[in-house]
Amino acid sequence: MNNQTTITRRDFLKLSGASALALTALPAFDGQALAGFLGSEQAANQMGILIDTTKCVGCRQCQAACNLRNNLPPLPEKILPNQTFPAQLSATAFTNVQFFQTGGAEDAPVFTTIKRQCMHCLEPACAAVCPVGAIVKTPLGPVTYDAEKCLGCRYCMAACPFNIPKFEWDSANPRIRKCDMCADRIAAGELPACVQACPTGALEFGPRKELIAQAQARIGKNPDKYVPYIYGLSAVGGTSVMYLAAVPFDQLGLNVNLPDSAVPELTLQVMDKIPAIAITVALLAGGVAWWRGRKTRAGEPESSIEDAEH
Ligand code: SF4
Ligand code: SF4
Ligand code: SF4
């Protein structure tokens, strides 16, 4: 006899019913409250990170520091030069340093490196679509996630215009995983771990409005060095993480076709694209994930879904 709990078909259907009810009980998105917050002093004082790709040397110390801070697997000792590792952000890589050939010749390529992570949007679509408030934009700027509240519906993954949130597909108690701007460190008056680790000053942390002024000054003083644009200043309503570069941002894998529109519009567009059936299936899956999470967190044995009729 094993120590697994069995979910019968009846249990599953009960969960399904609860999830379907949850669908009808989704809270309406409060655009007015968000608009009020965005116009407030609190929003103006938000913190951010300015990533100046012209100063980045691709050493990956930021990445190593992030993995350490978040208890993620350490980077391998040897990574091929000029290689993006891992190739994509994942549930075990909240940031990576991506390499793009932006000049030189085949036998002498010139690479530009760019650190990628959650953009901590001022009006985060991920938070706007979350039906249970598991993702929130905090007053200091970080967009944080609470696994205890998460249903596992993965709306946030569908909604994010930067393809940032990742799901722990291999876990029995899956969570959404992404950079949280080291919210606990910021609250304690420390720098985000990646910013602290960067040896070249490519990463700067500070009040977003000061970072913008600084970025504008750099561009103004070095018009031949920088493209005259701050990525993140206005895209999808603005982001707390912003970039400077010497080459057009689309050469660095950034989407330059994002609208400046506020989240409510973007969110509604996203929600329009998710067919009702997909939402229901997601909620069913979410109900199971939530149920399993509660059991596991309560110290009960992990469950398996079995069809009791067979
Ligand atoms: S980049 Fe994506 S995950 Fe990060 S705050 Fe914006 S919408 Fe959310
Ligand atoms: S801010 Fe923190 S969580 Fe985000 S990439 Fe940097 S070290 Fe990682
Ligand atoms: S630590 Fe700084 S210089 Fe090194 S890869 Fe990260 S951003 Fe670039």
Per-residue confidence at 40, pLDDT binned at 50, 70, 90? low
Position 114 pLDDT exceeds 50: yes
Find the 87 Cα to ligand 1 centroid distance in Å: 19
pLDDT confidence of residue 5: 33
Q: How far apart are CA 211 and CA 50, in angstroms?
A: 6
Mean pLDDT lowest among 94-103, 116-125, 260-269: 260-269
Cα 115 to the center of its chain, rounded Å: 13
pLDDT confidence of residue 292: 45
- Across 217-229, average pLDDT: 97
Q: How far is CA 300 from CA 291, 292, 297, in A?
A: 11, 9, 7
Ligand closest to 240 (CA) is: 1
Find the 31 Cα to ligand 2 centroid distance in Å: 28
Q: How far apart are CA 223 and CA 161, in angstroms?
A: 30
Find the 124 Cα to ligand 1 centroid distance in Å: 5
- The topology (CATH level 3) of 46-297 is Alpha-Beta Plaits (3.30.70)
Residue nearest to atom 3 of ligand 3 (CA): 56
Judge if the upstream peptide bond of residue 199 is cis by omega within 30 degrees of 0: no
Ligand 3 pocket at CB < 6 A: 56-62, 97, 113, 115, 197-198, 200, 202-203
Per-residue confidence at 81, pLDDT binned at 50, 70, 90? confident
177-193: pLDDT as tens digits: 999 999 999 999 999 99
DSSP state of 303: E
Residue nearest to atom 4 of ligand 3 (CA): 59
119-176: pLDDT as tens digits: 999 999 999 999 999 999 999 999 999 999 999 999 999 999 999 999 999 999 999 9
Q: How far is CA 11 from CA 105, 134, 186, 297, 301, in A?
A: 62, 25, 43, 19, 16
**Which class for 108: exposed (0-12), middle (13-18), buried (19 or more C-beta within 10 A)?**
exposed
140 with 270: CB under 8 angstroms?
A: no
Q: How far is CA 96 from CA 65, 110, 194, in A?
A: 11, 19, 11
